Structure 1
Amino acid sequence: MTANVARNGTGGLGRQTAGHPWFHRLSRAGLAARGVLYLLVGWLAVRVGMGHGGGKEADKGGALQEIAGRPGGTVVLWLLVIGLAGLALWGFSEARYGQPVPDGHKARKRLAAFGRGLVYSVAFAGTLAFVLSHKQSSSDQESRSFTARAMSEPGGRWLVLAVGIGVVAWGLHQIWHGAGRNFREELKTFGMDQRVQRAVEVLGVVGHIARGIVAIGFGVFLGYAFVTFDAGKAKGLDGTLRELASTPAGPWLLVAVALGLVVFGAYSLCEARWRKVEAVRA
């Protein structure tokens, strides 16, 4: 009896927290932080494609280094840490209470939200570590390190393949999510002017497709590492983007995808304004 009361009390407190306006603001701050990171990563990738990379990786680490080198960069970095923490907590709250979209209470939606919470928890931890130490390994190094550790364990090679397949599947979902304009159900479109709504839809379509293409490339390289027994074949975001420049389309494909990531960053800023972040009511 006492245990049930305690659980109900904890659940009620959690729901109150998830439904508090300040929690909603924290979630929106997280979306804005994600937008800033994508804008910077895309911009760095565009510079790489144009031959002006300046030695910086086109990934989160390169973006953080770019911010750190600017006046007031430390303040911005701490704001990003807070925002990414908000994104992680928001993901976990939607996993617990459901998403404010059609069928948002169903298991697949909750599982997706939980996965989002885990991903942004890792991003939060990595960004916090960078702020405290100003040391950040590249995404290529992190990917190869993970792959090497996994492949050194019994059955770890199959784990690498499973992760690669999962990433490719997620990338395909992102393309479907964007091309089908399914992201509209996540937005408060009734609060938009028609011209603004059309502009946000264009940003969402282009941004999600570009994000999906990059994810598919990342997953394919993990699969390549599985096939060749070579952890060195795995690549992170920076390496995946640079590989686009080696295709027959040349650096222009890299620039096109990089601009797509910039567009997704702009879409994320729109989400910070219009995304549904309120917890589902019981």
Structure 2
Amino acid sequence: MNTSAMARNGRAGAERAARGSVTKGAARAGFAARGVIYLLVGLLALQIAFGDSKEEADRRGALAEISQKPFGSVVLWALGVGLVGMALWRLSEAVFGAVGEDGRSARKRLLALGRCAFYSFVAYSVLAFAAGSGSGGGSSDEQSRDVTARVLGLPGGQWIVGVAGVGIVVAGLWIGARAVMRSYHKKLRLGEMSPRVRRLVDVTGVGGGAARGLVFAAAGVFAVRAAVEYEPDRAKGLDDTLRSFAGTPAGPGLLACVAAGLVLFGLFSFAMARWRKV
């Protein structure tokens, strides 16, 4: 067998493994882990909306909440491993392509690579928290201010932060619009759902996706403001972004609605773990 044939066989074997049961299980574990985190963040945000503002409504706050429960350390490690599985699945999509007609397109591969990087960072922060660092990578607000300050100090830093902020706004609007249009239908095995379950999944998918998109867009607006005013403290992470909704004319009611939406997105992630095509 010549070298090229061996290379083709090796690639085919690697692709089969990437699409095998282990990778599928890793993806489903990742969706479930994401669901737990969003569910807890939403519940923490609901507490803030109703007057209990002691805990941070972000990933670190969710991890701290888990750590205080019986077997919390075990759950933290399980979440971290699940998110590692998500990152590896996204990496396999970047290398071998995703399911669907355009799954091998350059755009889908680049999106998968970006998601791999994101979930790798999230997995690292969860595992670091589980290992005893107690920081989970720092609060989202601290991270946003620190990163913004460093980038603003670079040549052309204002433009970089501004463009990044606009990109986050666009991403948030895109996430929300796709949720409202129920674009996720093509990624789910709808035939395996009863009509009632499908309606429930749509409630979580539309409501959860719209809330998640709104939070992203709001965070992007704060980043743009930080760039325009050359003030890193204007940038906000997840916790401060959520709290800012309570400062609008709609008051804590708007925050409660957004928080409920994040709870719905957590539930939607569980549905993705069950019925997502991978």
TM-score, reference length from structure 1? 0.94
Counterpart of 1:263 in structure 2 is 264
How far apart are residue 105 of structure 1 and its match?
2.1
Task: Give distance in 1, aligned partners of 2:173 and 2:101.
Answer: 21
SS at match of 1:114: helix
Q: What pairs with 1:14-25 in structure 2 (closer than 5 Å)?
A: 14-25=14-25
Once residues 111 and 214 of structure 1 are traced to their aligned partners in structure 2, the CA distance between those partners, rounded to angstroms, is 23
What's the CA shift for 1:157? 2.2
Residue of structure 1 equivalent to 2:129: 130
Partner amino acid, structure 1, of 2:51: G
Query: What pairs up with 1:246-261 in 2 under 5 angstroms?
Result: 246-261=247-262
Query: Deviation at 1:7?
Result: 4.5
Q: 1:29 maps to which residue?
A: 29
Letter in 1 for 2:116: G
What is the CA–CA distance in structure 2 between the aligned matches of 1:198 and 1:233, rounded to whole Å? 40
Deviation at 1:60, TM superposition (A): 0.3
Distance (Å, rounded) in 2 between the aligned partners of 1:10 and 1:161: 44
Further displaced range: 146-155 or 267-276: 146-155
Number of the residue aligned with 1:87: 86
Q: Which moved more, 1:173-182 or 1:103-112?
A: 103-112
Partner of 2:118: 119
> What is the CA–CA distance in structure 2 between the aligned matches of 1:10 and 1:51, rounded to whole Å?
58
1:116 is displaced (CA, Å) by 1.1
Q: Determine the structure 1 residue equivalent to 2:200.
A: 199
For normalisation by structure 2, the TM-score amounts to 0.95
Mapped partners of 1:208, 1:88: distance in 2? 21
Distance 1:147 1:10, change over 3 A: farther
Which amino acid letter does the alignment assign opposite residue 173 of structure 1?
W
Question: Which residue of structure 1 lines up, in the alignment, with residue 224 of structure 2?
Answer: 223
CA deviation digits over 1:69-92, x for unaligned, max 9?
A: 111000000000111001111111
Report the CA distance between 1:2 and its aligned residue: 7.2
Counterpart residue identity of residue 25, structure 2: R
Q: Which amino acid aligns with 1:71?
A: P
Aligned length: 276
TM-superposition CA deviations, 1:76-120 (whole Å, max 9, x none): 000001110011111111122222134222222222211111110
Give the letter aligned to residue 76 of structure 1. V
Distance change in 2, residues 1:4/1:164 (3 Å): farther
Q: For 2:93 and 2:117, how far apart are their aligned partners in 1?
A: 12
Q: Distance in 1 between matches of 2:13 and 2:160?
A: 38
In 1, Cα distance between equivalents of 2:45 and 2:204: 18
Structure 2: state its 5+ residue gaps: none
Hey, what does 1:280 align to over in structure 2? none
Q: Which residue of 2 aligns with 1:99?
A: 98
1:3: Cα distance to partner?
Answer: 6.5
Residues 157 and 13 from structure 1, CA distance in 2 versus in 1: closer, same or farther, beyond 3 angstroms? Answer: farther
Closer/same/farther in 2, CA of residues 108 and 50 from structure 1, 3 Å limit: same
**1:147 — aligned with what?**
148
What displacement does 1:135 show? 2.1
Shift of 1:32: 0.2
- What per-residue deviation string (whole Å, max 9, x for no partner) do you get for residues 122-153 of structure 1? 10111111112122311000000000111111
Matching of residue 51 in structure 1 with residue 66 in structure 2: no
For 1:266 and 1:30, the matched residues in 2 are separated by: 13
Contact 2:158 2:228 in 1 (8 A): no
Query: Distance in 2 between the 1:2 and 1:147 partners?
Result: 53
